[in-house]
Amino acid sequence: MKVLLVAGARPNFMKIAPVYRASRKYTGVLCKIVHTGQHYDQDMSHTFFADLNIPDPDYYLAVGSGSHAIQTAKIMTAFEKVCETEQPDMVVVVGDVNSTLACSIVAKKMLIDVSHVEAGLRSFDLTMPEEINRIVTDSITDYFFVSEPSGVENLSREGKRSDKIFLVGNVMIDNLFYELERLSREDTKEFPCVHIKERLRKYIFLTLHRPSNVDSQGTLQRITLALNEISHETPIIFPVHPRTKKNLSNFNLSLSRNIHMLPPLSFRESLFLWKDAVLVMTDSGGLQEETTALRVPCVTLRENTERPITVEQGSNIIGGISKETIWDAYQRAICREKNKYPIPDKWDGKASERIWEVLTDQRNL
């Protein structure tokens, strides 16, 4: 079975990496990696892929940025050529970026089976481009690989066949445990961020990058005011996304001295910091899941989440985007004890293995 694994942005590679690594256990499976280049990232070097223990992509489509329509169209045109060349038996897409949507459509129109990893997640917020991508992708998917029970419920409600829905666990957690084990063997004294961690000892780890948060001056200002106030009680370590840094400057917004700004970090440097934080504040979907798996309290800087199990398990609080709601969520979260939350079923680092067990069984390999 020839399979194309599709990734469009840096976080996607964290999801396909364990899927690719697990595929090597099956002699009847040949996986090729397609990087659409949806997000250009200068750190996407050979070292990056070596760190994930996956080869450089077999195809780099270099579609670059643009409006949703332009980007989706460019991905579809380029990916169609890859499918014509490779004639794959299956296309595996992950998550909810434009590449997920575009490559699913191309595959389905070429009568190639589509597997969606992280299928069924819903925020029920149609103003989010990611929500549109999730719904459309799942409308044409053949195999649904689901990370949490809400995904099964959503897909069932939408009329998907129960024999094509598989609750396998979370591939992000596969990669998290893999990298956590590697981190345990690494000399972290060489990390540039080690000094600030040792100096602060008790700190909040923050990420903020979602366009709906950082592209709106009013929203970013409200979030900034809350963070500045919080930092007077608990210092914050903040690796700043380039988009956020640009807009903080454009909107003339200043951060407290107690918010320690860092350049973007590698996955393991970031993990090195947040795993020991007293609290994580984020608008990232993946980090909501990863903090749940390591039982670190989290405040989500959004008004909703497509990962409700993180809230149900107790590790995550929806903080909203106003100064008052963020402050309230912080006050509730900072009092919570770490390591007191149950870990969701099948978030055990073996989701990728379950995916291949299903696919090879379905294909009689």
Residue 85: its H or E element: helix 68-86
DSSP 59: E
Are 59 and 34 in contact by the 8 Å Cβ rule? The answer is yes
62: phi > 0 → left, psi -120 to 50 → alpha, else beta; which? left
Give CA–CA dist 52/175, Å, rounded. 8
Q: Residue 116 catalytic? A: no
- Which of 35, 46, 195, 209 is an active site residue? 209
Sign of CA dihedral 61, 65, 68, 71: negative
Q: How far apart are the first and last CA of the chain?
A: 8
Give CA–CA dist 114/280, Å, rounded. 35
Residue matched to tokens 């008052």: 324
Give CA–CA dist 8/38, Å, rounded. 5
Catalytic residue set? 209
